[in-house]
Chains A and B, each alone.
Chain A
Amino acid sequence: MDTNRRTVLKAGAAAAAMGAPHVARAQTKPARQVRFVPHGDLRVLDPIWTTANMSAYHGAMIYDTLFGVDVNMRPQPQMVQTHTVSDNRLTHTFVLRDGLKWHDGTPVTARDCVASIRRWQAKDGAGQHLFERVTDTPVVDDRTFRIVLKEPYGLVLDALAKTSTPLCFMMKAEIAATDPGTQITKHIGSGPFRFVEGEYRPGSRVVYERNPDYVPRGEPASGIAGGKRVLLDRVVWDIIPDAQTAASALMSGEIEFFEVPPIDILPALGAAPGVKIEVFNQLGNVGYCRLNHLHPPFNNVLARRAAQLAISQEDFLRAAIGNAQYYKTCGSNFTCGSPMGVEDGAEVLMMGAPMAQRQARARQLLKEAGYNNEPIVVLHATDIHIMNQAALVIAQNLRQVGMNVQLAASDWGGVVTRRSNQNPPAQGGWNVFFTWGGGNATSSPINLFGHAATGRKAWFGWPENARHEQLRNEWAAAADVAARRKVAQAMNRNMLEYVHDVKLGQWVAPVAYRSDRIRGLLPVPEVVPFWNVERFA
């Protein structure tokens, strides 16, 4: 065979072409990286300053907690090595694990922890409830501090371990000294991952890398407790606002984990090779219809009871969630399926009765309330599917029993603003709005601010009920789960009587991930942990 320039070039091109796949394979050898599409954008990097869930996710990546709840929602030590309580149950002593370090290499001290707890409690409902009973938080030595109470309190560890926002994250003392109303500007934690600030692109990308100094506990990971073994070098959060695009990216392998795929896309995702659909957060979400207790007609308990009967959980769930596999009706104010998920008193909801019967009773109650056809303003967020459906269903349900409903349409930002207005509806206020919360947070009468019934100081809707507040205090003081459950039964009955708000059922949000590439995802309500997660292909 003649060898000339052309044949040499051809041979070279052929060799290059043959070699190319090998090069490509070498480059695509599983990097220890996971690309994750969360439900929203990380806008605020201070998980105490805001109660936004995305900030809590960020916090769980880079900060650690003194305690964490396990898969059974029981508090377990995390940064703490030993915890002791004095005989009179007034002094809790905490000793930190040895060898804990901040990301800048300095040791974690008891002083840091006390400063962090104090900043957290200023912003957190459970923390404030705890600190109403705290007299002092002395630092004993570098690894030991105390919380001293004026009366026994059963929820000290629960408050420190909770996963509902804001979590009690530990920060360096000088950072935790930042006024709680001001955002922190340094993001140094002691958690399993470090925040890569140089690659942070708000609205687009957040990057974390493994913290090589992190020493996990010896126990297996469970909930946000146990050993946080870091098996990844990098975790990249891709903020993809369009759900269809995120689903396509998962199917094509451009991402590994999609947190909240819409229910209607699930069949297509489930059929894609290598993609697995799974429900991690079994407590899911709870829908709330908040009634404004300050103004007519819902300042009258009879009108509230009428609304409670008129609004159908089933109608809402069918319209907003659609697939019955993922939703259920519930007569508890504390999340069905949770330890406090009692349904005592739920017979007033007449959930088993035909809708016509419930509506007849609602009309009667409305008449007794003296309802005079005054307009009922329902806040209607049109830019979020569930919110939009909820407002339309609630409006129709209320109209069906004779209420004069006016939908006030805006985007969610508009609803968030207007819902805080305590003026009468005609002066910029409102009568009804819908939102939802995590089932885990809802399960605790203390952790969820929405459970307070302290009038104008309570959450939007401003319910006021002295007995409810007394029961909440009893619940917090109860020594164990059984005792708390007993109080919860009374509380649920009372809440349904005075109609704290109208619950709209529960639903779960499945996640979708590439089971042909990653494993070890942990089922934790309200936080997405990346420790224990392994990239194997």
Chain B
Amino acid sequence: MIAYVIRRLLATIPVMAIVGVFVFLLLHLAPGDPAAIIAGDNATEENIAAIRTRLGLDRPLIEQFGSWVWAIAHGDLGVSMFSNLPVTTLVLQRAQPTISLTVTTLLVAVTIAITIGVLAAWKAGTLVDRVVMGFAVLGFSVPVFVVGYLLVYVFALQLRWLPVQGYVPIEQGLWPWARNLILPSLALGLAYVALIARITRASMLEVLAEDYIRTAHAKGVATVPVLLRHALKNAAVPIVTVIGIGVALLISGVVITESVFNIPGVGRLVVDAIARRDYPIIQGVMILFAGVYVLVNLCVDIVYTFLDPRIRY
């Protein structure tokens, strides 16, 4: 297993390298000049040219790429062209809100989805099943920003229970932190609840039809232990796979949620950077996202071995 983990970790290097080349080329070949954006609307052509030179954007592309790779290899993600702050600092400033939102969303989504997915499988064909599946279709169909605005309207503007927007660091108290994350987590989690609930139901239905489940019932094991201990554990591999995919999808989902709820996370950092062509930020964050994606997949593969002893690497 350890050899496998090491192999997988080493395999991240070429993956990151390919991501790096693609991101760099896409950014630099796409239209857009950070110098013109920095200079502002009243700038002269000379001002823009001076800024371009200052930022090194007038150097050959291969030279710019080489400098960037050399810096990355030394752990330096570069400096924002606009704020002059190191990309690492900017990402660290934004990491906590994004991690908080991702973790709370996953907790909310997994807890609700597995519960209602198991319930729907157990009560397959009944009204409960139809309601759960109807909810799943709704969760898939309604965009995150619509759910977000609706939640804000009801819980923040009408009932005044929760804040409209913003993020409070966890150091300032658990409740203030959680209070600002309830609505975003619900809004973002809805689609994942739908996704995971459907997979849970389908996987559970398959397992519930197995002989060993019938045997467990025949032995007189109560329904709940049968569902959770016998059925859910054996249905867990596809569910974990979907949760893993969900984590990757969350990376894109947080971008919208962070905008709607004004959470200063990494998603907003990269969207703002794309709008103004702040290359070092975009490149740095994309490399980090790729790393996170690879690690999540590795974790999922490792979890398989705990859930199904037959899986060995």
- Segment at the interface with B among A142-150, A344-352, A408-416, A478-486: A408-416
Tell me the A432-453 residues at the B interface (CB within 8 Å): 435, 437, 441, 448-450
Kindly report which residue of chain B lies nearest to residue A447, judged by CB atoms: B42
Q: Are A416 and B36 in contact (CB under 8 A)?
A: yes
Partner of B42, one of A49, A254, A449: A449
Within 8 Å of chain A (Cβ to Cβ): is B33? yes
Q: Are B42 and A249 in contact (CB under 8 A)?
A: no
Q: Are A201 and B93 in contact (CB under 8 A)?
A: yes
Within 8 Å of chain A (Cβ to Cβ): is B80? yes
What 0/1 pattern do residues 44 to 72 of B give for CB contact below 8 A with A? 11011011011000000000000000000
Tell me the A169-209 residues at the B interface (CB within 8 Å): 180-183, 185, 201-205
What 0/1 pattern do residues 80 to 119 of B give for CB contact below 8 A with A? 1011110000100110000000000000000000000000
> In the bound complex, how far is the Cα of B269 from the Cα of A435, in angstroms?
26
> In the bound complex, how far is the Cα of B19 from the Cα of A234, in angstroms?
43
Q: Are B164 and A249 in contact (CB under 8 A)?
A: yes
Partner of B262, one of A53, A185, A240: A240
Known: A252-B156, A252-B160, A417-B33. A240 touches B165 (CB 8 A): yes
Known: A50-B39, A242-B260, A248-B152. A414 touches B83 (CB 8 A): no
Q: Are A41 and B272 in contact (CB under 8 A)?
A: yes
Q: How many residues of B contact A (CB 8 A)?
A: 49
> In the bound complex, how far is the Cα of B149 from the Cα of A418, in angstroms?
36
Which residues from A are CB-within-8-Å of B160? 252
Partner of B164, one of A41, A182, A254: A254
Which residues from B are CB-within-8-Å of A420? 33, 36, 45, 48
Q: Are A245 and B262 in contact (CB under 8 A)?
A: yes
Known: A43-B276, A238-B262, A252-B160. A183 touches B84 (CB 8 A): yes
Which residues from A are CB-within-8-Å of B41? 51-52, 435, 437
Q: Are B157 and A248 in contact (CB under 8 A)?
A: yes
Partner of A165, one of B37, B40, B50: B40
Tell me the B222-268 residues at the A interface (CB within 8 Å): 259-262, 264, 268
> In the bound complex, how far is the Cα of B30 from the Cα of A13, in angstroms?
63
> In the bound complex, how far is the Cα of B44 from the Cα of A470, in angstroms?
20
Kindly report which residue of chain A lies nearest to residue B272, judged by CB atoms: A203
Tell me the A396-412 residues at the B interface (CB within 8 Å): 410-412
Which residues from A are CB-within-8-Å of B288? none
> In the bound complex, how far is the Cα of B264 from the Cα of A240, in angstroms?
9
Shortest beta-carbon distance, A328 to chain B, in Å? Answer: 22
Which residues from B are CB-within-8-Å of A449? 42-44
Q: Are A248 and B83 in contact (CB under 8 A)?
A: no
Kindly report which residue of chain A lies nearest to residue B36, judged by CB atoms: A416
Within 8 Å of chain A (Cβ to Cβ): is B275? yes
Within 8 Å of chain A (Cβ to Cβ): is B163? yes
Within 8 Å of chain B (Cβ to Cβ): is A241? yes
Which residues from A are CB-within-8-Å of B39? 50-51
Q: Are A203 and B269 in contact (CB under 8 A)?
A: yes
Which residues from B are CB-within-8-Å of A240? 165, 262
Partner of B36, one of A204, A251, A417: A417
> In the bound complex, how far is the Cα of B261 from the Cα of A254, in angstroms?
12
Which residues from B are CB-within-8-Å of A441? 42
Q: Are A181 and B51 in contact (CB under 8 A)?
A: yes
Within 8 Å of chain A (Cβ to Cβ): is B201? no
Q: Are A252 and B164 in contact (CB under 8 A)?
A: yes
> In the bound complex, how far is the Cα of B44 from the Cα of A449, in angstroms?
8
Q: Are B264 and A413 in contact (CB under 8 A)?
A: no
Kindly report which residue of chain A lies nearest to residue B97, judged by CB atoms: A204
Within 8 Å of chain A (Cβ to Cβ): is B38? yes
Partner of B83, one of A202, A205, A251: A202
Which residues from B are CB-within-8-Å of A450? 42
Shortest beta-carbon distance, A475 to chain B, in Å? Answer: 18
Within 8 Å of chain B (Cβ to Cβ): is A292? no
> In the bound complex, how far is the Cα of B260 from the Cα of A181, in angstroms?
36
Within 8 Å of chain B (Cβ to Cβ): is A164? yes
Within 8 Å of chain B (Cβ to Cβ): is A90? no
A interface residue numbers (CB < 8 A to B) = 41, 43-45, 49-53, 55, 123, 125, 164-166, 180-183, 185, 201-205, 238, 240-242, 244-246, 248-249, 251-252, 254, 383, 410-414, 416-418, 420, 435, 437, 441, 448-450, 457, 459
Pairs A–B under 8 Å by Cβ, sample size 23: A41-B272, A44-B82, A45-B83, A45-B84, A50-B38, A50-B39, A51-B42, A201-B93, A203-B272, A205-B264, A241-B262, A242-B260, A244-B260, A249-B165, A249-B166, A251-B157, A252-B156, A413-B37, A414-B32, A417-B32, A420-B33, A435-B41, A459-B44
B interface residue numbers (CB < 8 A to A) = 30-33, 36-45, 47-48, 50-51, 53-54, 80, 82-85, 90, 93-94, 149, 152-153, 156-157, 160, 163-166, 259-262, 264, 268-269, 272, 275-277
| Closest CB pairs A-B (n = 3) | A51-B40, A204-B264, A43-B82
Knowing that A201-B264, A249-B165 touch, tell me 17 more A-B residue pairs with CB under 8 angstroms.
A45-B84, A50-B39, A51-B40, A123-B47, A181-B50, A182-B54, A185-B84, A202-B80, A202-B85, A242-B262, A245-B164, A246-B262, A249-B166, A254-B165, A413-B277, A416-B33, A420-B36
